[in-house]
Amino acid sequence: MNYLDNILFAILLAAGVGYFVTNVKKIIRNINLGRDINRSDRSSERWANMALIALGQSKMVKRPIAGVLHIIVYAGFIIINLEVLEIIIDGLIGTHRVFSFLGMFYDALIGSFEILALLVLIAVIIFLARRNVIKLKRFVSSDLKGWPKSDANYILYFEVVLMSLFLLMNAADYHLQNVSGGFGHYIQAGSFPVSQYLAPLFDGMNNALVALLERAFWWIHVTGILVFLNYLYFSKHLHILLAFPNTYYADLNPKGQFDNLASVTAEVKLMMDPNADPYAVPAVDENAVPSKFGASDVQDLNWVQLLNAYTCTECGRCTSSCPANQTGKKLSPRKIMMDTRDRLQEVGKNIDANKGVFIPDNKALLNDYITPEELWACTSCNACVEECPVNISPLSIIMDMRRYLVMEQSAAPMSLNAMMTNIENNGAPWQYNQQDRLNWKNEN
């Protein structure tokens, strides 16, 4: 590799990493649009959660076939990309297989990379078949039409191309290493348990042509890695990066335990205090912005919920386990997360277009993306939260939006309004006077 190649590589690397960093800053800004919430407690449990669920993939294997295949792809992504470090050094200073001085350890590394690459190829082909040939139900739902369906396939195609280029690059390298008398800088280095069987493709070719092909595979592979890195911003596959903070900041409270609004709690305590003056006028800060009960748009959700939205991989485990969805209701927990992310992206673009300031666009998450019908279909059973492999909570978003409908718009369903009226008038959900509650025992 000459100096011009080094310069071109440095420019390509800087552009790819720079664009990625720019988009990461946008994601962080968008997540920080959410309300503040303290998730700094119980740090040891949070680290354990991240290690077990994000790194250890413990919830993935609850569905063994998909779980094992995902672990293969995940391990391949993490381990094979250690090779990227060598590629970067080679590209910047013009060396070839700079870590080859590690000897047998290097041979073992390259050999393991190749075996993993083959396993990743097999796993990805099975994933493609599950989506496009077998057409598993959770992958052909109405909420996965258009871009979400294409996105899922694009990332799998990316994996096929990157792994194939890696093996072809090694096959050409192996061929040139074994040329009689040697060829150029292609020294004996590495072990090639898979690509050695691809090397015969280059038999009979001019050695200079094989070297040209090896360099072409190398450059396309490098470019593909950088394109893949920047594609993550536009893809559901942000979970590759965000699964770790998402599992760390997940809610550690028992499932089903909901938060209380501090303002409402204070009001109730005041009402129950026998020493409180019911006619006292509370001090009012004229500059304070009245707080909204619940959430109607993404800015009303907390930052962890927005992190959840970006982390969602659209696997559909939540929706496939949702009893409301199974009985034909409109609710899909996966769609709740996708809609939240889409609206957050729309708000982010609005801020970008208006030089850092959000200009009201007469749209909101509620009604424009998520309908009340979807929200009220939820039974709050927590099945979606239990099933999510990265601890996302669609239920928390549903409950905050239902809270807005009830407390801000008085738009609860008739049956719920009747129950709340009965509680207010009778002290119980039933339409009976307190004196009549035990009449049933006198009936024959």
Query: Could you tell me if residue 190 is left (phi over 0), alpha (psi between -120 and 50 degrees) or otherwise beta?
Result: left
SS3 (DSSP) at 298: helix
Cα torsion angle, 196, 198, 204, 210, sign: negative
Q: Write the secondary structure of 3-56 as one string of H (helix), E (strand) and C (coil).
A: HHHHHHHHHHHHHHHHHHHHHHHHHHHHHCCCECCCCCCCHHHHHHHHHHHHHC
CB 390 within 8 A of CB 309: no
Q: What's the pLDDT at 321?
A: 93
Q: What's the pLDDT at 285?
A: 55
Q: What's the pLDDT at 323?
A: 94
Nearest in space to 57 (alpha carbons), one of 78, 36, 71, 72: 71
Kindly report the pTM of this predicted structure: 0.85
SS3 (DSSP) at 370: strand
* Domains of the chain by residue range: 3-32+81-234, 262-272+293-428
Q: What's the pLDDT at 139?
A: 86
Phi, psi dihedrals of residue 152, rounded to the nearest 5°? -60, -40
CB 374 within 8 A of CB 330: yes
- How far apart (Å, rounded) are the C-alpha atoms in residues 162 and 223? 10
Residue 167 is which amino acid? L
CB 380 within 8 A of CB 373: no
The neighbouring-strand residues paired with 35 are 302
pLDDT by 10s per residue, the chain, length 444? 567 888 999 999 999 999 999 999 999 999 999 999 999 999 999 999 999 999 888 898 888 888 888 888 888 877 777 788 888 888 888 888 888 888 899 889 899 999 999 999 999 999 999 988 988 888 888 888 888 888 888 989 989 999 999 999 999 999 998 887 677 778 888 889 999 999 999 988 898 999 999 999 999 999 999 999 899 888 888 888 899 999 999 999 988 788 887 777 877 777 777 777 766 666 555 555 557 888 999 999 999 999 999 999 999 999 999 999 999 999 999 999 999 999 999 999 999 999 889 999 999 999 999 999 999 999 999 999 999 999 999 999 999 999 999 988 888 888 888 888 888 887 778 877 777 777 767 765
SS3 content of the chain, % helix, strand, coil (to 5): 65, 0, 35
The length of the chain, given as a count of residues: 444
Q: What's the pLDDT at 77?
A: 76
Q: What's the pLDDT at 325?
A: 92
| Residue 135 CA, distance from chain mean position | 22
- Give the list of residues 6+ apart from residue 186 with CB closer than 8 angstroms, or none: 96, 173, 176, 177, 179, 211
* Residue corresponding to tokens 């690509």: 195
Report the CATH fold assignment for 262-272+293-428: Fumarate Reductase Iron-sulfur Protein; Chain B, domain 2 (1.10.1060)
Q: Which two tokens stand for residue 399?
A: 């409950």
Q: Which two tokens stand for residue 204?
A: 């009979």
